[in-house]
Amino acid sequence: MLPRHHDPIVAVATAPGRGAVGIVRASGKDLGVVIRALCGKRLMPRHATYLPFLDSDGATSIDQGIAIHFPAPHSYTGEEVLELQAHGGPVVLQLLLARCLEAGRGIGLRVAEPGEFTERAYLNDKLDLAQAEAVIDLIDASTEAAARSATRSLSGDFSREIHTLRDQLIHLRMLVEATLDFPEEEIDFLEKADARGQLTRITAQLDAVLDRARQGALLREGIKVVIAGQPNVGKSSLLNALAGAELAIVTPIAGTTRDKVSQTIQIQGVPVHVIDTAGIRGEHAATDEVERIGIARTWAEIEGADALLFLHDLTRMGEADYDAGEADIVARLPAALSSGDRLVHVLNKSDAAQVARAHGIALSAKTGAGLDELRRKLLELAGWHASPEGLFIARTRHVDALRRTREHLALADAQATSPDPALDILAEELRLAQAALGEITGEFSADDLLGEIFSRFCIGK
């Protein structure tokens, strides 16, 4: 541990603002001096005690509330913890925080850094790294499915999957390395121990976990969908229809939308971040500098889109100027979008005109016809195919670690199935596979990774 991990810490553990209840939390060694200073007596472990929180003179009180003392190691952090539950006014909580710091000056009590309570829970083996990340994922969950999946990860479902794979890899490594260490025994592990079969089963199990992790990462992060097209094709109307609310201004005037309008919606529990953009037309056609800036921002959003909804107006198809504008947009689309499956042609205003093109999704943003088909297409583009039940929340780094594990297993399999396998290379690939798995739960983690993860937490968590 770093030296700072031995300091006792304190922070307001509830969100800023006013509320019925606010919590000040302290963690570390020798908190007895703080307990006596604020509570005036010893507290029964893990019992809620209603009492006044004493000011520095010991006679007046800052507030009255509930104090709970959790002796180590039976606490969230694994250290001695004190929680003070007071009225949730920001002034009251700051007074309590200042009083704790004053009382704990002799033991070096300091204000906690973001995520430091959960970091200590990880360092004291109360949580592994995947569970610690699930804490903030649960707080930040934007859909019910994401919240339920984060809860499963926090309870250890994801970690148990990883530990099972790790244990199987360790067993297989033991067989391979035993052959390397004792060649005179002539242990033909490939045949007698069914090492090839073990490796095949591990790989199949890993593939299943990787697929579920991709789904979990999708629940956490969602996809970015950009709606683009010429002015007045119905982009803002489509955003409003998908969101079920009047978020964007809709008028017959071309160029009404000057900047992006964003909204996150849910489709079967998957967050979809929909961005309505300024209508695209040539530089000469833009009416002013503001519209030109809006169009430039549209192209920037298109570049970073996971999926692009290219909106067409069925009522204007066949008009020379309109068709020329369509062709100009297609010519400027990023190759990764135009040549891949992330581009969706959406034919709007089907309520006012016949569908004139065979490809694309025909709909009416005005009546809602065709929206369900578009929602299904967005889920397909996202790669969503699993039911939220049984999924665990996952992050991009988890998926990346599982992919690297899969690559090392593939290289190990190439050696295992070779007529003349290089057992030392096979052993090394299995070791690298285990190390990649260990990054998920924190068995092999660099300090800079821990700093990056916990710095994203709020203070007090």
Per-residue pLDDT tens digits for 15-50: 888 899 999 999 999 999 999 999 999 999 999 999
Q: Which of 64-73, 129-138, 254-263, 334-343 has the highest mean pLDDT?
A: 64-73
Fill in the DSSP letter of residue 45: B
Question: Is residue 264 marked as binding?
Answer: no
Q: For residue 288, name the pLDDT band (cuts at 50, 70, 90).
A: low
pLDDT value of residue 184: 55
Q: Give CA separation, 446 vs 113, 314, 407, 449, 452, in Å.
A: 19, 55, 22, 5, 10
Question: Is residue 25 marked as binding?
Answer: yes
Give yes or no for residue 165 having a pLDDT over 80.
yes
CATH for the stretch 3-127: 3.30.1360.120
Distance, in Å, from the CA atom of 258 to the CA atom of 249, rounded to the nearest integer, reads 11
What six digits make up the tokens of 133? Answer: 């990340």
Note the pLDDT tens digit of each residue in 375-384: 999 988 888 8
Q: Give CA separation, 77 vs 73, 112, 461, in Å.
A: 8, 13, 10
Q: Which amino acid is at 434?
A: Q
Average pLDDT, the chain: 86
Q: Closest by alpha carbon to 289, among 318, 260, 311, 258?
A: 258
**Element at 23 (helix H, strand E):** strand 19-28
Residue 139 DSSP SS3: helix
Could you count the other beta carbons within 10 Å of the beta carbon of residue 87? 15
Strands (E), 208-280: 223-228, 261-267, 270-276
Architecture of domain 222-382: 3-Layer(aba) Sandwich (3.40)
Q: Is the dihedral of CA 404, 408, 414, 416 positive or negative?
A: negative
Q: For residue 119, name the pLDDT band (cuts at 50, 70, 90).
A: very high
Question: Is residue 142 marked as binding?
Answer: no
Is there a contact between 378 and 307 (Cβ–Cβ < 8 Å)? Answer: yes
Across 109-113, 140-144, 156-160, 338-342, least confident range: 338-342
Fill in the DSSP letter of residue 105: G
Question: Is residue 370 marked as binding?
Answer: no
Question: Is residue 235 marked as binding?
Answer: yes
Question: Is residue 91 marked as binding?
Answer: no
Question: Is residue 237 marked as binding?
Answer: yes
Could you count the other beta carbons within 10 Å of the beta carbon of residue 229? 25
pLDDT value of residue 8: 95
pLDDT value of residue 31: 96
Question: Is residue 234 marked as binding?
Answer: yes
Average pLDDT rounded to a whole number, residues 432-457? 76
| Residue linked to tokens 């003392």 | 69
CATH for the stretch 139-217+395-441: 1.20.120.430
Give yes or no for residue 186 having a pLDDT over 50.
no
Domain boundaries, the chain: 3-127, 139-217+395-441, 222-382
Q: Which of 63-72, 209-218, 236-245, 339-348 has the highest mean pLDDT?
A: 63-72
For the whole prediction, is pTM greater than 0.85?
no
Question: Is residue 256 marked as binding?
Answer: yes
Give yes or no for residue 409 having a pLDDT over 60.
yes
